[in-house]
Structure 1
């Protein structure tokens, strides 16, 4: 823009981003609006151009591994604003941020004020060096920047009123509960059955109870808290099935499964742009054998029998059979969701997945989604409340319960066994 200095342009873009997030309903409180207008985001990503820095919905990767996978990133303004709203931070609080970069720590420092304290921790010295340097440049010299494995928290500055985790976590380590005050909030991008949701959890004694959850993506945890999924490669790499929790005992039974003629069943309808995060989690917690399906698009299109409509990433396996959820465009902005099932006897699996899509459509579409409870793995079974789904992790058990609508009386929900 002619006659505009870089600083003036950054201020314009920063205000435009905040305005967009207010219009979208992500920013709802005046305090979050004020700090996001005040902190210069460009200071924490000097290598990127201003338009990319202030794009509301996209993050910026700041470090990759040798395979090109992101190891550290500056989260999108949308994600940062939502987590800050979830955290309900007040002046004077003691806050721990797990996963550094500097930007979010600056927001937190503004929110807790001169009587509060912010600690940010990361396992990567490259990240903590950048964080310290950028925070000092921006004038946030009171933030404690710690190089450590956050699996163990930062005990020297506990107890914390709030813990914000800005990396994707497969589990909830004991330290995160132990170092949080009773009634304090942990906000964590928690991965369950391969699906990541940013969940705000209140500590109630030895357990955590969710207040809210929203779909977001974050770079994965490193160090002791890292978790590897199991992948099955089909059609020479054109298709991959990803099992995040417990894969089937014998994946070899799926060899050649996509060479069968598919059975197609219908599920639910959607409109373009309609969120389907609750539908993904519904299938993950009601359909045995749930997994994610991913395509190499070029390899798939070059296949003699390419798979179509895989935009949802949702699939399930049952022995030698595989089903995935496909979307097909109808007229206007309408989509239909279909279940494509392959294998020697795919009909029953197709019917199970399609029926759960219809139940979601009837009872949970547009609803609040499930509640999450987190208990230590040492909790005796008899002390766990009833839940629709329980998944066992290394340190914790995650219990997921769905609201039961009045019209679902007598309806059976498929209960998964505990995964150990």
Structure 2
């Protein structure tokens, strides 16, 4: 009898085939890097199967169990490398060393004439990355223990900068160290959602040309997102940005008020994403935020959002509305909104209006322009532009 074992090579090949089937690793260079670099060598405590599964491998946790560092989901890694558009000879900075796996992929992409620098605030993480990189023949990667917000001026300027941690803000060091016409890829959080955004450097601004849904361990030291519960039992929470005038105390008990439900006639199938509605809203309405609900609130019909852990909501004073979904037929669901409070129905209608516009072009994405200072002549008062104020940067978002 012949026993067939899953070797690292066969598992890695299957992983890349799955990534390709998902629509990522779109260039021969990225595909070859993924087929070459041994991911299992960077997560030695994981089984071979887990090392090559399409999952994040957690390598360090906080005392409360939350992830502090990990090897990211392979499809997300490939997606972001596609966005980064690395060329041989590039100088690259990575913020968030993780296991060192992504730095090894970047080294393969830049070739012998390139240079990769990776930075992380946690010495335990950088020590682990250094060991794995050395063990896999990537001694040329420069590993630095430092607050990622400071980046690495000693090896600047960079043709490419990539964040492998979630960022709420864009630190000034990016403008100082990213070369003109350089490219930045960052999992950026605004209005409660996170997107891997690819920016091109143009003079004093960064202009987006690609956005993909993602989730990452948050960067330490960026505290711009606020959160609060809106029911006595703490089952329903809101997440909003510091520049928004949302006061959860005004919403206490709002979910006990009558529901105002509005349906859009827009249908989606089980595999059809609808996160683009939220993305559009961030460029159209400064009242949008994230709503998260415990399953106990759903079981009692207190709050029934489309996705319990993360659904867009609109908040105005003591009223709110959130995205909802209902089954219409086998494999078909209708999108709508549920409102509560004095303006709840109006907010629900507003959400449904955006659902209907999204349905006309589901692939449309906003253009985001990021800068260190408010751009001259643009004050965010244009109804077609949303100004999102961060601590050290500003975003202007508009639909094309």
**TM-score of the superposed pair, with normalisation by structure 1:** 0.89
- CA deviation map 1:125-168 (0-9, x unaligned): 11101100111111111000000011111000101111011111
1:307 paired with 2:320, answer no
- 1:229 offset after TM fit, Å? 2.3
Which of 24, 36, 49 is the matching residue for 1:51? 49
1:61 paired with 2:58, answer yes
1:206-217 matches, cutoff 5 A:
206-217=204-215
Which residue pairs with 2:250 in the alignment?
Answer: 253
- CA deviation map 1:217-270 (0-9, x unaligned): 1110113x4544222242412211111343435432211111112011112322
Number of aligned positions between the proteins: 395
Aligned partners of 1:377 and 1:393 also within 8 Å: no
- What secondary structure is seen at the aligned counterpart in 2 of 1:234? coil
Which residue pairs with 2:373 in the alignment?
Answer: 377
Query: Distance in 2 between the 1:288 and 1:188 partners?
Result: 22
- What secondary structure is seen at the aligned counterpart in 1 of 2:162? strand
Which stretch shifts more, 384-393 or 11-20?
384-393
The root-mean-square deviation of aligned C-alpha atoms, in Å, is: 2.1
Query: Distance in 1 between the 2:356 and 2:37 partners?
Result: 46
Q: Which runs of 5+ in 1 are unaligned?
A: 404-420
Which residue pairs with 1:336 in the alignment?
Answer: 334
Which residue pairs with 1:31 in the alignment?
Answer: 29
Which residue pairs with 1:416 in the alignment?
Answer: none
Aligned partners of 1:260 and 1:344 also within 8 Å: no
Change (3 A) 1:66 1:306: same
1:240 paired with 2:237, answer yes
Which residue pairs with 1:182 in the alignment?
Answer: 180
Aligned partners of 1:232 and 1:242 also within 8 Å: no
Aligned partners of 2:321 and 2:337 also within 8 Å: yes
Which residue pairs with 1:173 in the alignment?
Answer: 171
Which of 208, 225, 231 is the matching residue for 2:228? 231
Which stretch shifts more, 385-394 or 65-74?
385-394
Change (3 A) 1:375 1:325: same
- 1:4 offset after TM fit, Å? 5.0
Which residue pairs with 1:414 in the alignment?
Answer: none
- CA deviation map 1:74-111 (0-9, x unaligned): 11111111111111111111110100120000001111
Aligned partners of 2:227 and 2:237 also within 8 Å: no
Query: Distance in 1 between the 2:117 and 2:197 partners?
Result: 20
Query: Distance in 1 between the 2:374 and 2:302 partners?
Result: 47
Query: Distance in 2 between the 1:235 and 1:328 partners?
Result: 27
- What secondary structure is seen at the aligned counterpart in 2 of 1:237? coil
1:157-168 matches, cutoff 5 A:
157-168=155-166
- What secondary structure is seen at the aligned counterpart in 1 of 2:46? coil
Query: Distance in 2 between the 1:314 and 1:67 partners?
Result: 27
Which residue pairs with 1:281 in the alignment?
Answer: 279
- What secondary structure is seen at the aligned counterpart in 1 of 2:7? helix
Query: Distance in 2 between the 1:391 and 1:348 partners?
Result: 23
Aligned partners of 1:230 and 1:242 also within 8 Å: yes
Query: Distance in 1 between the 2:377 and 2:184 partners?
Result: 24
Query: Distance in 2 between the 1:68 and 1:2 partners?
Result: 42
Query: Distance in 2 between the 1:346 and 1:294 partners?
Result: 18
Change (3 A) 1:180 1:124: same
Aligned partners of 2:80 and 2:185 also within 8 Å: yes
Which residue pairs with 2:123 in the alignment?
Answer: 125
Query: Distance in 1 between the 2:81 and 2:381 partners?
Result: 30
Which of 364, 370, 390 is the matching residue for 2:387? 390
- What secondary structure is seen at the aligned counterpart in 1 of 2:92? strand
Which stretch shifts more, 82-91 or 276-285?
276-285
Which residue pairs with 1:400 in the alignment?
Answer: 397
Aligned partners of 2:311 and 2:323 also within 8 Å: yes
Which residue pairs with 2:16 in the alignment?
Answer: 18
Q: Which runs of 5+ in 2 are unaligned?
A: none
Which stretch shifts more, 233-242 or 389-398?
233-242
- What secondary structure is seen at the aligned counterpart in 2 of 1:368? coil
Query: Distance in 1 between the 2:299 and 2:76 partners?
Result: 36
Query: Distance in 2 between the 1:197 and 1:281 partners?
Result: 9
